[in-house]
Amino acid sequence: MQMEFGYGKGTQIVEIPDKNLMAVLTANEMEHARRGADAVDYALEHPIGAPKLREVAKKGQKVAVITSDISRPLPSYDVLPSVIRELNAAGVPDEDITVVFALGSHRHHTEEERRHLAGDEIFERVRCVDSDPEDCIHTGTSSNGTPFDFSRSVVEADLRVALGNIEFHYFAGYSGGVKALMPGVSTPAAIQCNHSLMVSENACAGKLEGNPVRQDLEEALQYCPIHYIVNAVLDEHKHIVYAVAGDVIEAHRAGCRYLDQMYRKPIPERADIVLVSQGGAPKDANLYQTQKALDNAKHAVKKGGTMIVIGACNEGLGSARFEEWLVNAPTAHSMVERIAKDFQLGGHKAAAIAMVLENAQIDLVSEMDDDFVRSIFLNPQPDAQTAFDEAMERYGADATVIAMPFGGATLPMPPA
């Protein structure tokens, strides 16, 4: 069978014998009743665990609407108009609404980026600002010791509405829900403390119950409540196909269940060889982004197997801290040891790759220099077909293969 994997703005083609191909993991076939803004409007008319937003909001309230920054796939411009309309219907005028872009640990936006995220109409009508880690209010401390410090524009609001998209997150279980608040509008110190819990076995994709990272995040609600959420589920092309609105926990969990129906992929067993791609540009612009697909694919590969990661990485590694950890590590395992006692944002993704290397070889098809790729403990390959042919030689004619053309979205579920 000929398989096509997105690679930058082009593709990589691999010929895989049918007898070896155990599974091709793509989104489950589903009929989506609504898409885009229609899905958002329906969710707002049918909230989960809460009244309609227009019944929750009150005239005279100052409202903060937290939404994703430019690095996240949520099309905020498809969600914000419906949310603002609901608030207006409750008697809240535009001048009492502030849209806060949740930067987390990311850079500030340009004005053009804020306009793009909000859409021209909302940007002209409503105050749109970035979260500010330099101007935060301390609201409490988690049982884990995480300081809950949030942007003043959020804490001082009378009503907090959080937007986001729900997808698998490799140590928080899922994105969405409270993540707009924490880490979205928090401080680097708080984020580092929370994310240091990623070393737990229970901190993994698709897991909420017993996940220490998620528990720590949601403890923040005791100190700075989110009064309402509107979360979207996206297809592989990042278009809205489902939305939930209402209670920060109940609505979020309903969205997670829908995501599971789309992207959880049971597999009969782990494979000798896993081919995985982010799906091409812009999602494979650097290794920092491509790591997400790599981490999902680890659930599909046997111990001692090979993962063939297909990502152009034309911008290189994508993070200075990520690069520092990878380049300066004496061994891959040293990063696993380091993250347990010296958690650093950026370094956490380097450690996540090192954790995968504990069990499998990683071949990388990219535009990065071969010697540099070797220096960060990965095996460079000129193209996906060559990588596959070499892997077949290693594992023999009966080698098992799993293909993940949209690895950032699909989550393999091997037998327990």
135: exposed, middle or buried (C-beta count within 10 Å: 0-12, 13-18, 19+)? exposed
> Residue 169: beta bridge partners?
173
Express each pLDDT in 279-324 by its tens digit: 999 889 999 999 989 999 999 999 999 999 999 999 999 999 999 9
> Residue 5: beta bridge partners?
12
Is 176 a residue whose pLDDT tops 90?
Answer: yes
The model's pTM: 0.87
Rounded CA separation 347/73 (Å): 23
Tell me how far CA of residue 287 lies from CA of 151, 172, 245, 323, in angstroms: 30, 20, 34, 10
106: exposed, middle or buried (C-beta count within 10 Å: 0-12, 13-18, 19+)? middle
Express each pLDDT in 359-383 by its tens digit: 999 999 999 999 999 999 999 999 9
Domains in the chain, start-ordered, CATH in brackets?
2-25+267-413 (3.90.226.30), 36-262 (3.40.50.11440)
